[in-house]
Amino acid sequence: MTLKHLLIFILLFSAVIRVLGQQRPKFQATRPNELSGMVRDSITGEPVANAVIRVNFDKIGLYTDTTGTFSVNLIDAEYVVTVSRLGYRTFRTRVKMNKAIHLDIKLMNVAEELEEVVISTQAVDENVSRPLLGVTQINIKTIKKLPAIMGEIDVLRSLQMLPGVTSVGEASNGINIRGGAVDQNLILLDDAPIFNPTHLFGLFSVFPPDAVSSMELYKGTTPARFGGRAAAVLDVSMSNPSLDKFSMQGGVSFVANRLTAEVPLVKGKVGLLVTGRGAFNDFAFQWGPQKLKNIRAGFGDAAAKLFWRIGTKNTLSLSNYYSTDFFQTDLLGGINNINSSSTQYKYKTLNFTARWFHSFNNQFNVQTTGVYSRYRPRILLPEVDSDNKVTIGSEILQRQVKTNFNYSPNSRHKIELGANMTHYQLQPGTLDPGSNQRVNAQTVPTENGIELALHAEDEITVTTKTTVSVGLRYSYFMALGPSAVRTYAAGGPRLESTIIDSVFYGNGKVSKSYGGFEPRIGLRYTIDEQTSVKFGYNLMRQYLQVVSNTTTPLPTSRWKTSDAHIRPQVSQLLSAGYFRNFKSNIYELSVEGYYRSTDNVLDFKPGADFLLQSFIETQVLQGKSHAYGAEFMLTKKKGEITGWVNYTYSRVLNKVNEGPLFTEQVNDGKWYPANFDRPHNINMSFNYSENKYHNISFTFTYGTGRPYTIPNGFISFQGKAYPYYAERNQGRLKDYHRLDFSWQINNPSLKNNRWVGSWIFTVYNLYGRKNQYSVFMRTQGTAYNTYQLQIFSSPVVSLAYNFKFM
């Protein structure tokens, strides 16, 4: 950031603060009047004692007494009165003091807003008291306050403001968590897996922001009920619809429009939530450079959730999610020598979840869930001077049934038992030539697999200072036919020339199986009421992975189940942390360290080609990965100014050495940095809210540039230069940093109407940092030139409008 950019930032921030400061009421020298009030629980009507009374957001040492009453003398002026109490939603109102005023205030108990029992044996309530490390419960309201590119609220981009969470750049198709690859994260929306979590190649996340109620990120010790991925779990839950009151909310931004409605179908029993979002603004590419004029892009997603309160002991919920993307460009070359005028990417997700909950009593309950998830990416190639399109496609189908039993016999134990069965069906690739008779149709054999798992977990309060969470999961995977399994010559590479036998397995026959125990341990020792230390250990197995030779997997990248030649990834994580809260839990401090070792990570052979490969083991290698790091975070949770600052030091190194030949190694079998190895990361978030009508936010992020591969030299042949690569990821991009700003104006009319609107002004990349996304080379004859790709190289200004109707 140059001095000029810094001065512009300071002047802009000062001007905004002065504008808001002018709205503070001026006190007049006149006689005082009494402001009094009674504060009650909105449900029970009982008085609320020790509620904090603030005037103009200043703490004046005033609290309600045991009868819930308060009084204070104020001079004639206009004031903002705030009433807050732990466990209740804060109440705010504006009063004009020119006479005695009495307020009758009802505080909403936050616990009363929960409509569906959340099945969890883990305590994720307090920074100090919870027994697990690396568990972050993300508030969607906090995410909505952060600056968002083009006004689109983005869950994944917001997660990158947390320690230990990074990506390879602004157009990355996912996130990297504590040294894990993108496909090593289990991402769930109402228990259904999301295989592609982004729209438009990583620019926006797929989660409908107005329909999300909670998000929990497990980047350390993971509960035993989760499995199937080697690094982390992001568990996103959709809101339950209101059973009593109709409401609607939505928004309009430069990118997309969205609308969400909650409809009570049978009052007190059945409700329906429906949400939709669509992007129809690709005409904006016409305003860009000439090379962008033929780009077309659009996306849409929709979700619905039906909630039925059958009785006092049973609930049933049905949820559905659908998303679609389209992207067209003529900047890419042809594929497989198909002479196409452009390349079109289309991909769709369709998920269904059914969940039944039954409570036997206050100590024992059961939840059964059924999941159907389908992901279908396509590449369309419109041929030159023809109406024909050649289509290359693939598909993932996952079906799952699982049951969890929860039992709390006493205050010292929280026990969970469960079982699940998952069926995977993969269609790795098809080529449909359409009417082109020069191209042959191709179909890669379908892959089938079943994963079975049992788990048990107990959260034990050993003493008042010590809590232990002990979990054990056993998973067993079977690769099923029909399939042909090759045998290659022992001690040599897997090549077409080294095949010595092939065995065919019929439909449903087991061609290969893997399995093992997955222990999960979390220990918390409380030093005092404000301080604790924690230790954790995790082992996870992954039987489904992405095969890719790009920096970040494309939406059309190939997924692969484990088989006779591709072994499952096995990850072990050790972590420890120190946690302290101070000043009445206004501030939180955490320091965490971790070490992860992963076996059987996948990487590609030099010159690998994955497209329509029936035997993918000839194109990949497996090796080891080591990741380690330290994370520091300080958070301010309350007050007019809130936010956080964190710093992460981390490394991710891979080693691939399957044999002595060049095609069996990466970097001569030595350790090399992974694509997402970014040692230093700093994130800062600042939120200023003087009153409920204005909210100002700044976010700043800095990260070491990611590795990339530089040619070791060039070979001249027949008048052309060809790059020669002997090493991988030996270069680094320039360091990345960016400052974002947003100003949210809530309810500009200042009236308490049923329709409440807000405007959000956002500047992404405020000082116009030209961050590199990639560096590549192009040869011209025997010469070559180096180019760099930038996604957002100048400030991106946007204005969005959001509304609620209640």
Q: How would residue 234 be classed by pLDDT, with cut points 50, 70 and 90?
A: very high
Is the per-residue pLDDT at 473 higher than 80? yes
State how far the Cα of 98 lies from the Cα of 76, in Å rounded to an integer.
Answer: 5
**pLDDT given at position 288:** 56
Q: How would residue 654 be classed by pLDDT, with cut points 50, 70 and 90?
A: very high
- Sign of CA pseudo-dihedral 403, 406, 407, 413: positive
364-382 vs 389-410, strand pairing mode? antiparallel
Take residue 301 and report the two structure tokens written for it: 């997603």
Return the amino acid letter for 768.
G
| Nearest to 330, CA basis, from 340, 342, 338 | 342
Q: How would residue 625 be classed by pLDDT, with cut points 50, 70 and 90?
A: very high
The winner for highest mean pLDDT among 27-31, 293-297, 428-432, 567-571 is 567-571
With a pLDDT cut of 70, the percent of the chain lying above it is 89
Are 559 and 196 a contacting pair, CB within 8 Å? no
Are 59 and 638 a contacting pair, CB within 8 Å? no
Length of the chain measured in residues: 806
Please state, rounded to an integer, the average pLDDT across all residues of the chain: 85
Cα 527 to chain centroid, rounded: 33
pLDDT tens profile 718-762: 777 778 788 888 889 999 999 999 998 887 665 667 788 889 999
| Nearest to 678, CA basis, from 653, 703, 655, 700 | 703
CA dihedral defined by 144, 149, 151, 152, rounded to 10 degrees?
A: -70
Is the per-residue pLDDT at 339 higher than 70? yes
State how far the Cα of 803 lies from the Cα of 794, in Å rounded to an integer.
Answer: 29
pLDDT tens profile 140-170: 777 877 887 777 888 888 888 899 999 888 7
Is the per-residue pLDDT at 117 higher than 50? no
Range scoring the smallest mean pLDDT among 32-41, 104-113, 285-294, 784-793 = 285-294
Is the per-residue pLDDT at 3 higher than 60? no
Is the per-residue pLDDT at 116 higher than 60? no
Q: How would residue 129 be classed by pLDDT, with cut points 50, 70 and 90?
A: low
pTM of full prediction above 0.85: no
| Nearest to 756, CA basis, from 695, 692, 700 | 692
Cα 430 to chain centroid, rounded: 30
**pLDDT given at position 610:** 84
Range scoring the smallest mean pLDDT among 231-235, 253-257, 291-295, 476-480 = 291-295
Residues 334-339: what's their mean pLDDT? 70
Cα 23 to chain centroid, rounded: 38
Range scoring the smallest mean pLDDT among 114-123, 510-519, 711-720 = 114-123
Q: Is 3 helix (H, G, I), strand (E, B) or coil?
A: helix
| Nearest to 510, CA basis, from 438, 450, 584 | 450
Where does residue 747 fall: left (phi above 0), alpha (psi -120 to 50 degrees), or beta otherwise? Answer: left
**pLDDT given at position 332:** 61
DSSP 734: P
State how far the Cα of 123 lies from the Cα of 719, in Å rounded to an integer.
Answer: 67
Residues 357-376: what's their mean pLDDT? 94
Are 338 and 439 a contacting pair, CB within 8 Å? yes
State how far the Cα of 590 lies from the Cα of 427, in Å rounded to an integer.
Answer: 45
**pLDDT given at position 690:** 66
Radius of gyration of the chain (CA): 28
User: Of 52 and 637, which is predicted with more confidence?
Assistant: 52
**pLDDT given at position 663:** 85
Following DSSP, what letter does each residue of 421-477 receive, concatenated? Answer: EEEEEEEEEEEE-TT-TTS--EEPPPEEEEEEEEEEEEEEE-SSSEEEEEEEEEEEE
State how far the Cα of 441 lies from the Cα of 434, in Å rounded to an integer.
Answer: 9
**pLDDT given at position 691:** 66
Is the per-residue pLDDT at 382 higher than 60? yes
